Structure 1
């Protein structure tokens, strides 16, 4: 039995694998005004489709649907098996509110009422 797979079959298998990853993913990367689908994500980075997504660099935003997850500084690598991998150089989680510049007591009032 031969373990040789022709290039045509290998390309079709890779295309089917990428299509299934793309269909299942809700994760998106936004670079400038462009938005691209993330195929896979792990603790130190993510991957996108190499053929349709131009090489990304610098500061990007990651989204899960419409929810902003984080802002990242990324480093790219060479495409492999139809995917281009990116590693996080810096990964800052997005928050709903601005950070406080002072410590707030747990039982402190939310604000002061004026005297009338």
Structure 2
């Protein structure tokens, strides 16, 4: 479902499916929360493979972010396609999550050192 890679004290979670919907939301949320609970409190989520996202998956993202913040951590996203990026702006998720165009953008912004 997701592939986790490590970069210093940050973790990159690559979503491996094209449709981020209700079918995947619970398992995705549990995988992210498991990573957070194991001490990986700063996670950058890659949406490079995702073409579609629904409200249940957005809810899983927000729940994961709340869990991270309660632990002193954070979750950011990158690689949103144009439609998902517009959706994030429309519902103001871009004010809730740090959103980067790509992985190098997160380095340049200083989110990943």
Q: TM-score range by the shorter chain?
A: under 0.3
Q: TM-score, normalised by structure 1?
A: 0.25
Q: TM-score, normalised by structure 2?
A: 0.25
Q: Which structure carries more helix by proportion?
A: 2
Higher relative contact order (CA 8 A, sep 6+): 2
Return the index of the structure with the highest Cα Rg.
1
